[in-house]
Amino acid sequence: MKFILIYTIIVYTGEISIAKEMLDSGNIIYKPKIVYLSKYSGDNKYDTLSNKIYSNAPLTELDAINLCLLPLMKSEYSRGIMTEKAIELTQHIKDTVMKNKCIELLYLFVQKFVCDEKARNKLQEAYSMTDIGEMIVNDTTKKNKEVIISKILTVLETNIGEVPNEYKNAMINLPLYSLTDISMDVKGFKSFSDLDKYLI
């Protein structure tokens, strides 16, 4: 009989210092590797990272991981504040590749574990400046525009008739906020000329 070994690592955030570490169900004993972030001082890690970054010392892969985990480690500050402090550090990393990697890792963890809206918005802004973030934001915006235009055209064709190509083409070039305005007003349009004030 062939046995398959499965290794599991469970990471607990800074608020948790003790948890059940083994499950014994008789035939099966489940004992994952437990990592308690409460054993790591986010404040000390922050100071160490801050010294390296502000002195332009090269960062290691471990440094990148520690930076993205700062909001989840034990700290005298809230997760939101530690997220903001971590974001601030990333803005001073000189190596663009490492900077983007840290922001992208931080984004993954914060989106899952941090509820502070101010911190999330700051991180979203930083993330949108990375190569991957910019690509995702642009792709999302494009998809959102396509969905809104489709809905506008459906309403116009139902209430007025076939939409002239000049209006279709003009809407493609409109920013998302203008399309949103049209989508909110379109049910009251009596003619295609009602679109003109949005196309200026």
pLDDT digits (tens, 9 = 90+) for 156-191: 999 999 999 999 999 888 887 788 788 878 888 989
pLDDT digits (tens, 9 = 90+) for 14-33: 888 888 888 887 777 888 89
**Pairing label, strands 9-12, 33-36:** parallel
- DSSP state, residue 174: S
pLDDT digits (tens, 9 = 90+) for 71-95: 999 999 999 999 999 999 999 999 9
**Does the pLDDT value for residue 145 go beyond 80?**
yes
Residue 134 pLDDT: 64
Instruction: In whole angstroms, give the CA distance from residue 21 to residue 10.
Output: 9
Residues 6+ apart with CB under 8 A from 79: 71, 72, 113, 114, 115, 116, 119
Burial class (CB in 10 A: 0-12, 13-18, 19+), 200: exposed
Residue 20 pLDDT: 84
What tokens does 43 get? Answer: 């404040």
User: What is the pLDDT confidence band of residue 56, given thresholds at 50, 70 and 90?
Assistant: very high
Cβ-contact 53, 92 below 8 angstroms: yes
- DSSP state, residue 60: P
